[in-house]
Amino acid sequence: MAKRNKDNLSISELLQEFVDTNNLQTGLDKVNVRDAWAKMMGNGVNNYTTAIQLERDTLYVQLSSSVLREELSYGKEKIITMLNESLGKDVIKKLVLR
């Protein structure tokens, strides 16, 4: 680990250093995006969500309802903004509804 003075590091700083050292951020982002989608969209949308996949900066969401897919497609930019706000950083640049 880069920092030697461990006495002055908080738990969150140590965890972030561990995540950075072991290149775990991408995996954490994938998990966090799924959680953010589930919380933000609620049961109504989650019941029709069959898969969520984050590849680089694109979020792919598979929905079992074509009507819901069409409805959500009108608010893609707002969904992206809300998810990124929930994550606390710009992880998603593009949303693809399938």
Range of the domain at 37: 11-97
Domain assignment of residue 70, yes or no: yes
Domain assignment of residue 4, yes or no: no
pLDDT at 94 over 70: yes
DSSP 8-state class, residue 7? G
Q: What's the CA gap between 76 and 94, in Å, rounded?
A: 8
Confidence at 11, pLDDT banded by 50, 70, 90: confident
Confidence at 5, pLDDT banded by 50, 70, 90: low
Which CATH number belongs to the domain containing residue 46 in this structure?
3.30.300
pLDDT at 47 over 80: yes
Domain assignment of residue 3, yes or no: no
Domain assignment of residue 21, yes or no: yes
Confidence at 7, pLDDT banded by 50, 70, 90: low
pLDDT at 22 over 70: yes
Total of domains in the chain:
1
